[in-house]
Amino acid sequence: MSDPLSLEVVSRYPSKGKRCTPLLFVHGAFSAAWIWSEHFLDWFSERGWPVHAVSLRGHGGSEGHESLGQWGIDNYVADVMQVIEEIGERPVLIGHSMGGFVVQKCLEQSTFPAAVLMCSVPPSGLMASTISMAWSRPDLMGSLAQLMTGAPADANGFKEALLAQPVAISDLERYAALSQTESQRAILDMTLLNLIRPNRLNPAPKLVIGAEMDHMVPANQVRETAQTYGVEPVIFPDMGHALMLERDWAHVASVLNDWLVAVVQDAPKPKSS
């Protein structure tokens, strides 16, 4: 395992109220902490949660861009554990896409108050979704392959891959500009080399969330993840992979918050949306 790197962590704290369990958000591939700070971080902190979003090594404002190709899922798990040590207490882990896979790997190592898997790569890995996308949306496969080479993201391609609802062109162009390449080693880990061992996960309440219009991790794979962990999935209709950027992101946040209030022992008192 490599030495710790300097990691970008975006944090928000409640303005008042008793301190409660923090939330740690983990982004997916081609992204960084910015994807959570667009809407979710302020929204959850306003409801009493201390919130943090990490940019994994080689992403966003974190170190390690020059060595991105050598970082694997275990390195990303080490990043999350490093941030947890800096926070000073065990947070609820909330992971999107690749970040959900990283969260599952963290649960193999330690215990946490709860975990949220949002459009997460399933325990069985990326193989099924790769085959599905190659068959049904070869254009998206081409866009992702281009992004892996370091080419800038195309705004229209970003929307086709990640969003199903209307979005302002200025926002879409900004999101695309913030996107980046991903580690091929991490992709290989999630495809074949370092898959999840569900029987080794430490017990924790789990919320499994998916999107009906998701081309990256289709809803049937979200249901597979939920079945693996013995929970009922929440599938949001008419929404795409990047739930936290969709027009109706606040509905997703409200469902997540209601679940957290119900399962986290020291959750803040509910506040209406």
SS3 assignment, position 199: helix
Task: Report pLDDT for 134.
Answer: 64
State which of 121-130, 153-162, 206-215 shows the largest mean pLDDT.
206-215
Q: Residue 254 falls within a domain, yes or no?
A: yes
- 40-90 pLDDT per residue, tens: 999 999 999 999 999 999 999 999 999 999 999 999 999 999 999 999 999
Domain harbouring 190, CATH code: 3.40.50.1820
Task: Report pLDDT for 4.
Answer: 87
Structurally, how many domains does the chain consist of?
A: 1
Q: Residue 150 falls within a domain, yes or no?
A: no
Whole-number average pLDDT of the chain: 92
Q: Residue 73 falls within a domain, yes or no?
A: yes
Does residue 1 surpass a pLDDT of 60? no
Cut 0.85: pTM above it: yes
Task: Report pLDDT for 149.
Answer: 60
Task: Sort 144 into a burial class: Cβ within 10 Å, 0-12 / 13-18 / 19+.
Answer: buried
Q: Residue 105 falls within a domain, yes or no?
A: yes
- 198-251 pLDDT per residue, tens: 999 999 999 999 999 999 999 999 999 999 999 999 999 999 999 999 999 999
Task: Report pLDDT for 17.
Answer: 65
- 88-111 pLDDT per residue, tens: 999 999 999 999 999 999 999 999
Q: Which residues pair with 208 in a beta bridge?
A: 117
The answer to whether the CB of 169 falls within 8 A of the CB of 72 is no
Task: Report pLDDT for 269.
Answer: 82
Q: Which two tokens stand for residue 17?
A: 């109220």
Q: Residue 158 falls within a domain, yes or no?
A: no
- Rounded CA gap, 260 and 273, in Å? 15
- Rounded CA gap, 227 and 89, in Å? 30
The answer to whether the CB of 44 falls within 8 A of the CB of 20 is no
Domain extent, residue 258, equals 9-126+183-263
Task: Report pLDDT for 236.
Answer: 98
- Rounded CA gap, 70 and 237, in Å? 37
Q: Residue 39 falls within a domain, yes or no?
A: yes
Does residue 272 surpass a pLDDT of 60? no
Q: Residue 79: name the closest of 62, 91, 96 by CA.
A: 62
CA distances to 16, 27, 98, 118, 124 from 104, rounded to whole Å, are 32, 13, 10, 12, 12
SS3 content of the chain, % helix, strand, coil (to 5): 45, 10, 45
SS3 assignment, position 234: strand
Q: Residue 270 falls within a domain, yes or no?
A: no
Residue positions counted in the chain: 273
Min mean pLDDT across 23-32, 130-139, 170-179 is at 130-139
